[in-house]
Structure 1
Amino acid sequence: MTWMVLTLISASLLGLYDVTKKVSVRGNAVPIVLLLSVCVGALIWSALLLLQTALPAMDWPDWLRVDAIDRWGHLALAGKSVLVGVSWTLAFHALKALPLSIAAPIRSTSPLWTLFIAIAFLGERPTPLQWLGIAIVLGSFWALSIVGSQEGIRFRTDRAVWWMVAATILGAISSVYDKILLQEFGYSPATVQAWFSVYLVPVMVPLAVRWYREQNADIPRPTAPFEFRRSILLISPLLLAADMAYFTALSDPEALLSVVSPLRRASVIVTLIAGSRMSGEYNLWRKIACVLGILVGVILLMMFGS
Structure 2
Amino acid sequence: MWLYLGLFSALFLGFYDISKKHSLKQNAVLPVLLYSSLTATLIFIPVIVLSYTHPNLLAGKGLYIPPITTFSGHWHLFLKSLIVYAAWLLSYTALKHLPISIATPIGASTPLWTLLGAVLIFHEQPNSLQYIGLGLMIASYYFYSIIGSKEGIRFAGDKWVAFIFAATIIGTMSGLYDKYLIQTLKYHPLTVQAWFFVYLVALFAPTLLISNFTGPKIPFKWRWSIPLIGIFLIVADYAYFKALTYQGSLIAMLATLRCSCVVISFLGGILLFKELRPMYKAFALTGVLVGVFLILTSK
Q: TM-score, normalised by structure 1?
A: 0.93
1:231 counterpart residue number: 225
| Alignment partner of 1:287 is 2:286 | no
Q: What is the distance in 2 between the residues matched to 1:228 and 1:27?
A: 11
Letter in 2 for 1:226: F
Confirm or deny: 8 A CA contact 2:51 2:66 kept in the other structure.
no
Q: Is the 8 A contact 1:144 1:287 kept in 2?
A: yes
8 Å Cα contact 2:129-2:294 kept in structure 1: yes
What does residue range 21-40 of structure 1 map to in structure 2 within 5 Å?
Answer: 21-40=20-39
- Count matched residues: 298
User: Is 1:257 the counterpart of 2:251 in the alignment?
Assistant: yes
Instruction: Report the aligned-residue RMSD.
Output: 1.6
Residue aligning to 2:173: 173
The equivalent of 2:12 in structure 1 is: 13
Q: Distance in 1 between matches of 2:274 and 2:293?
A: 29
The verdict on how the C-alpha distance between 1:61 and 1:240 changes in structure 2, with shifts beyond 3 A counting, is farther
Q: 1 CA distance for matches of 2:253 and 2:176?
A: 19
Partners of 1:122 and 1:77 lie apart in 2 by 26
Q: Distance in 2 between matches of 1:110 and 1:247?
A: 19
* Contact 1:16/1:238 (8 A) holds in 2: yes
CA distance in 2, matches of 1:194, 1:207: 21
Tell me, yes or no, if the aligned pair for 2:52 and 2:67 is still in contact at 8 Å. no
* Unmatched runs of 5 consecutive residues or more in structure 1: 216-220
One-letter amino acid of the structure 2 residue matched with residue 133 of structure 1: G
Counterparts of 1:134-149 in structure 2 under 5 Å?
134-149=134-149
In structure 2, the CA distance between the partners of 1:78 and 1:61, relative to structure 1 (3 Å rule), is farther
For residue 79 of structure 1, what is the aligned residue in structure 2?
79
Give the match for residue 207 of structure 2: 207
Q: CA deviation at 1:172?
A: 0.4
Q: Mark the runs of 5 or more structure 2 residues left unpaired by the alignment.
A: none
Query: Would the aligned equivalents of 2:50 and 2:58 in 1 still touch at CA under 8 Å?
Result: no
User: Which letter maps to 1:187?
Assistant: Y
Alignment correspondent of 1:115 = 115
- Distance in 2, Cα, partners of 1:236 & 1:74: 21
Correspondence 1:60-139 to 2 at 5 A: 60=59, 64-69=63-68, 70-139=70-139
Q: Which moved more, 1:249-258 or 1:28-37?
A: 249-258
Aligned to 1:218: none
> TM-score with structure 2 length normalisation?
0.95
CA distance in 2 between partners of 1:40 and 1:122 (Å): 40
How far residue 74 of structure 1 moved from its aligned partner, in angstroms, is 0.9
1: CA distance between counterparts of 2:93 and 2:60? 36
Deviation string 1:64-115 (CA, Å, 9 cap, x unpaired) is 3322332111101101101100100100000000011110111011111122
Contact 1:140–1:294, Cα closer than 8 Å, also in 2 = yes
Shift of 1:54: 1.9
Distance of 1:64 and 1:129 partners within structure 2:
40
Give, in angstroms, the shift of residue 61 of structure 1: 5.3
1:282 CA displacement = 0.7
Asked if 1:47 corresponds to 2:50, the answer is no
> Any conservation in 1 of the 2:136–2:287 contact (CA below 8 Å)?
yes
Is contact 1:63-1:247 (8 Å) kept?
no
CA distance in 2, matches of 1:31, 1:61: 38
Deviation (angstroms), 1:214: 4.2
Displacement of 1:259 in angstroms is: 2.1
Q: Percent sequence identity over matched residues?
A: 40
Q: CA deviation at 1:46?
A: 1.1
Q: Which moved more, 1:111-120 or 1:146-155?
A: 111-120
Q: Aligned in 2, Cα 1:123/1:76: closer, same or farther, shift over 3 Å? A: farther
Cα-to-partner distance string for 1:182-221 (whole Å, 9 max, x where unaligned)? 1111111111111111111111123211332147xxxxx3
What does the per-residue CA deviation read over 1:266-294, in whole Å, with 9 as the maximum and x for residues that have no partner?
Answer: 10001000121111111111111111101
Separation in 1 of the partners of 2:85 and 2:132? 33
